Structure 1
Amino acid sequence: MELYTLLSVFVLVVCIIISTLLYYFQYQKHKDGTLNLPPGKMGLPWLGESLDFLTAMRNGGKPEIFIFSRLAKYYGSEQLNGVFKTRLFGNNVVAMAGTTTNKLIFANENKLVTMWWPPFINKAFPSSNKKLSINEDFAKKKVRQMEIIPNFLRKTEWLKRYVPLMDDCTRRHIAAGAWGPSDRIEAYTVAKHYTFNVACRVFMNIEAQDDPDTVASLFDPFNVLLTGILSFPIDLPGTKFNRAIKASKKIREKIGNIIKKRRMDMAEGKAAPTQDILSHILESSIDPTYLNDFDLASMILGLLTAGQDTSSNIITFIFKYLAECPLVYEAVYKEQMEIARAKEEGELLNWEDIQKMKYSWCVACEVLRLAPAVQATYRVAITDFMHNGFLIPKGWKIYWSTHSTHRSPECFPEPEKFDPTRFEGQGPEPYSFVPFGGGPRMCPGKEYARLTILTFMHNIVTRFKWETLLPDEKIIISPIPRPEHNLPLRVFSH
């Protein structure tokens, strides 16, 4: 173990030295006064302003402070569409936010910019082809190119199947005692279990109540992965990041075994091609050169990550804001009870019921505005281009902060106020509300998330009321926003 630790430290030191040299040469390359780079400071070699960035996320869960404070410093005011340069985790970065930026990103995907993730993310979601990493946009080149997942999650005929299935999962979740009258329930914990159970059922046809051991064996390491994957990327024994990498490997091995069994069941006619996303992918007869079992396991892990953590975050904050805003709760309750009274005893929700939940979805959108699971994302410039009068050099990374736009008074008056009516009628101005992205990279799971959230809202609101036990609970980001103590609630039956 000591030898392994020494080797890890040596590799880390070498990486820092190399990064420092690259930093020096890259910075000198663009230091020419004739280049009109955005204002900003690059900070320390490799680290840059990473510590300030992480501090803004941890202290009160307000990453927009990192953006707004620098815009005010470099422009004299918080000009939302201003840009500035910085350095984060060894990368030259241009930070952007605002409607102009959103429009730029959506209109120029794969023209001026393309998707990018920090290299250490590849350790959690690896590809069998070492030359085909996430940074080279595996999803775009192979999976999205074949339109397997996007089409599956966007087709109305597939989405309609999910509604009664999700409703049944929710009812069974409540009947199992996960949610009900209690002096203390942790909303975040309950939401995580619920959304993970639904994702397992939809993606792999694993039902928590029927196969609790399999779900539990995936859930525990899954939480280790989520907690550590966006921690400080030091892959040494005992670090959060190292534990996340190990958890990822463990989950992918279990999913790999599920894939092998599913192939056998489908060959023997024991599994229907339409029963879940996994069967649909296998039925599509994808060339294994593009997507073998190793890559498929990584893909399913990515789907579980996107389908579970983002929805659980939104549901948690729906609990929070409905408890704090009784008039909003009553409006949601009225809408959901009208739907419930029109159903026969025991009848499950259907697609048409979901379409009636208009105000409830306005509530969810306002939660997405104030507490989005994805605070920002990354792009990389694939060519030199100008934005707002400044040069964005080829190869520089772009930190695209959608959350800063959502929190800006330029786009949303009284931005700290919880007001679902912002989304009634025509809704916000174009390019101001973009929690699911836009353009060719619009999140394919948007409708899946909507179904998961609204189905849960219906079942909980029509049965229960609740109050927060810690009204001023701190919000932290690790790596998504969550209440520091998991939002403890006291729950009552109607």
Structure 2
Amino acid sequence: MDAITKEHLDTYWENQKDQVVKVHEVAGKYTSTMSLRFFFNIEDPQVVAELEGFITLISAGFISLPINFPGTKLNRAIEASQKMRKYVENMLVEGRKMRTSSPAGDARGGDYDLWSSMLMQTSSVDGQPMKDSDIANKLCGLIIAGYDNVIATLDSIIMYLSELPHVYDAVLKEQMEIANSKAAGELLNWGDVQKMKYTRCVVSEVLRLKPPVLGTFREAITDFIYEGYLIPKGMKLHWNAYGTHKNPEYFPNPENFDPSRFQGDGPAPFSYVPFGGGAPMCPGREYARFKILVFMHNLVTRFRWEKVFPDEKMIMDPILVPTKGLPIRLYPHASIQRT
């Protein structure tokens, strides 16, 4: 993750015209590139760009009018999902060929990608090997589920750090301590990420105030009473993250940005739900946090920044997005030190 992040910043953030970067756009490139490299070991820029296009269309179709005819968001999403699954299925076939043809002990035969290799060796509920179509569905689901949400979170983090210099300074201090403990060229490791305690609290507070989605849907599995109302079994329910996260009973002064809420034992159970709660809690939550923490380490140790449009806000459309794409002006630390 650290190597991919450094490469991304070198390509899309360093030495840009007028030192201006559109965060929402490049965050999308970062998120898709990381997932495709991490899950599929894909490095070809043309292939990454093609699959990123599919991911974008699929994501746009998740919350759209249920009208399936040519030209609608839903139709484009369905077509893109079919193409992406077919592409992944073809990759699985090629992966099997590589493993079959590789000499014993040759690593290239086993690392076509760790994730697809694991799923190929996993049996379905009836004890039979999983079909390539099922494996492709699961792999595509892993990538799509962590796309818009991570982009929105990176947008929000960068916006808050530009508006709250004391929070930025505290994050920078923690990250520079980690950076200075590393030898030249040494990448982050598991232990380094565990040291990012304040930074993790900042991410948690961003997710409290700006959860990427409003909430999600559930179905009542039994009759129950809520606030004096009978909710019958089978009724569709929507739980709202914003309402929960800004409940003053659990979060005093809920509009204030206060990372210390997440120190110690943190909030009461089920009061903080950016990843859901209980059995259906998002299984990719730690992967998302790691991706975000590694990105923050690399970003803050290279740059300060300011918003090009100081009054720019985040809105739900229907996923959380910045109104103008969040362009920011970068100030590399080296140039600050020279002045």
Shared fold by TM > 0.5? yes
| Residue 24 of structure 2 corresponds to residue 185 of structure 1 | no
AA aligned opposite 1:279:
S
Rounded Cα–Cα distance in structure 1 between residues aligned with 2:149 and 2:268? 24
Give secondary structure in 1 for the equivalent of 2:173: helix
Which of 425, 429, 432 is the matching residue for 2:264? Answer: 425
Aligned mate of 2:202, from 334, 357, 363: 363
**Which residue identity is paired with 1:168?**
A
Whether the 8 Å contact between 1:235 and 1:241 is mirrored in structure 2 is yes
Residue 211 of structure 2 contacts residue 242 of structure 2 at CA under 8 Å; is this kept in 1? Answer: yes
Q: Does 1:271 align with 2:106?
A: no
Aligned with 1:459: secondary structure? Answer: helix
Equivalents in 1 of 2:235, 2:257: separation in Å? Answer: 36
Once the 2 structures are TM-superposed, how far is the Cα of residue 179 of structure 1 from its aligned partner?
A: 4.6
Q: Say which SS state the counterpart of residue 147 (structure 2) adopts.
A: helix
The structure whose Rg is larger is 1
Q: Secondary structure at the match of 2:306?
A: strand
- The equivalent residue for 2:40 is 204
TM-score by length of 1: 0.63
How far has the Cα of 1:245 moved from its partner? 1.5
1:176 matched residue in structure 2: 11
SS at 1:176 equivalent: helix
TM-score w.r.t. the length of structure 2 is: 0.90
Q: Shift of the alpha carbon at 1:374?
A: 3.1
CA distance in 2, matches of 1:275, 1:242: 31
CA contact (8 A) 1:339 1:353 kept: yes
Change (3 A) 1:462 1:236: same
- The residue type equivalent to 1:257 in the other structure is N
Is 1:282 equivalent to 2:140 in the alignment? no
Equivalent pair of 2:211/2:241 in contact (CA under 8 Å):
no
Matched residue SS, 1:302: helix
- Confirm or deny: 8 A CA contact 1:272 1:279 kept in the other structure: yes
Partner of residue 75, structure 2? 242
- Report the CA distance shift for 1:179/1:231 in structure 2 as closer, same or farther (over 3 A): farther
Give the residue type in structure 2 aligned to 1:234.
Answer: I
Please give the per-residue CA displacement for 1:30-70, whole angstroms capped at 9, x wherever unaligned.
xxxxxxxxxxxxxxxxxxxxxxxxxxxxxxxxxxxxxxxxx
- Counterpart contact for 2:12–2:26, Cα < 8 Å: no
Partners of 1:473 and 1:484 within 8 A in 2: yes
Amino acid at match of 2:139: I
Instruction: Give me the whole-angstrom Cα distance separating, in 1, the residues matched to 2:178 and 2:295.
Output: 14
CA–CA separation in structure 1 for the residues paired with 2:212 and 2:99: 36
What residue in structure 2 maps to residue 460 of structure 1? 299
Displacement over 6 Å in runs of 4+ = none
Asked if structure 1 preserves the Cα contact closer than 8 Å seen for 2:306 and 2:330, the reply is yes
* Distance change >3 Å, CA 476–CA 288, structure 1 → 2: farther
Alignment of 1:408-487 (within 5 A): 408-487=247-326
What per-residue deviation string (whole Å, max 9, x for no partner) do you get for residues 62-116 of structure 1? xxxxxxxxxxxxxxxxxxxxxxxxxxxxxxxxxxxxxxxxxxxxxxxxxxxxxxx
2:66 to 217, 222, 233: 233
Shift in Å, 1:288:
8.2
Structure 1 unaligned segments of length 5 or more: list them.
1-165
Q: Which runs of 5+ in 2 are unaligned?
A: 103-107, 334-339
CA 1:274 to 1:285, structure 2 compared with 1: closer, same or farther past 3 Å?
farther
The reply on whether 1:298 has 2:123 as its aligned counterpart is: no
Q: 1:180 to 1:279 in 2, by over 3 A?
A: farther
| Aligned positions of 1:70-81 closer than 5 A | none
Per-residue deviation at 1:437? Answer: 2.2
- What is the alpha-carbon distance in structure 1 between the residues aligned to residue 143 and residue 218 of structure 2? 23
Q: Residues of 1 paired with 2:120 and 2:148: CA distance?
A: 25
Counterparts in 2 of 1:276 and 1:479: CA distance versus 1, 3 Å: farther
1:363-392 superposed Cα distances (whole Å, 9 cap, x missing partner)? 100111111123211111233333344322
On the 8 A contact 1:274/1:280 being kept in 2, the answer is: no
Q: Which amino acid aligns with 1:171?
A: K
Structure 1 position 441, deviation (Å): 2.2
Q: Percent identity?
A: 48
Q: Distance in 2 between matches of 1:268 and 1:167?
A: 32
